[in-house]
Amino acid sequence: MTERTKGNANDVVLETIRAHHDRLGRTMSDHAVTIGRSIDRLASPSARQAVLVAFCTGEVLPHAVAEEETLYRVAADLPETRLLVRAMSAEHVVLRDLVGELERASTPGEAVSTAAALNALFQSHLSKENDVLLPALADAGVDLGALLDGMHEILGEPAPEQSCGCGGCGCGAQDLVTEGTAGSAFGGAKAAAGEFLVGELDVRRLVPARRHEEIFATFRELPTGMAFVLVNDHDPRPLYYQFAAEHPGEFTWDYTESGPAVWRVRVGRP
């Protein structure tokens, strides 16, 4: 591979990683804000607190481990990034500790403050990776495509073994299944037999920034007892977390197709 070809390939990988970082950062921020708003409404944040913990244990912490095994391992051997990656590895330890503190938080004040600290650290951490570490590795001639081949936790692509929708892949969502209900893959109540479909919402035609807006607009207009089928080009697992935080107990979520090229989820209003 020529240096120019390697550079172009690295640019594509960099954009892919940054897009994944952007999704992780927005999801983290949304959950932290939702926990704070629950306190403003004098409501318990415990359900939203559990959703954020599940998101962190299912996506954020595995992402951190994957980075340590690939990007950080290479960066530790480069003089220009050795000190940076040492500090960022220490931040991973703090992230893990904060997730544990959030899981143990027993008062609204503890939940809000810990979620806010977790979000602030994570956003700062992502910025350093995007703006300093990744460009430094690319400038040092590291072939990021070869280094990260198959690393779905970093590139944001769903791994084949995680596409079954079983809820047992380590994402943490299986812990959200409501006791006594016939849960779907991510804990939404099983769609009632009398629930009518209003059609499909295929978001593959939309740019990623528009997809969540369109999905939630469709859900808001959905009458009780109705459902639509969401069609996507990747596993919409993060969207479940957002639904669980913003509409707890108000939606159903059932996979009807789980990749590898197309995902279909029946989203209903029970």
Q: At what angle do helices 82-104 and 61-69 cross, to 10 degrees?
A: 160
Q: Which residues pair with 230 in a beta bridge?
A: 201, 265
CATH of domain 3-155: 1.20.120
- The C-alpha atoms of residue 115 and residue 111 are separated, in whole angstroms, by 6
Note the pLDDT tens digit of each residue in 1-59: 444 545 577 888 899 899 889 989 998 998 888 888 877 777 778 877 888 888 899 88
pLDDT of 164 above 60: no
Sequence-separated (6 or more) residues with CB below 8 Å from residue 224: 269, 270
The pLDDT of residue 7: 56
Note the pLDDT tens digit of each residue in 200-237: 889 988 887 788 888 988 888 887 888 889 999 998 88
- The C-alpha atoms of residue 56 and residue 49 are separated, in whole angstroms, by 11
- The C-alpha atoms of residue 63 and residue 253 are separated, in whole angstroms, by 25
| Residue extent(s) of CATH 1.20.120 domains in the chain | 3-155
Range of lowest pLDDT (15-24, 31-40, 66-75, 146-155): 146-155
Note the pLDDT tens digit of each residue in 91-130: 999 999 999 999 999 999 999 999 999 999 999 999 999 9
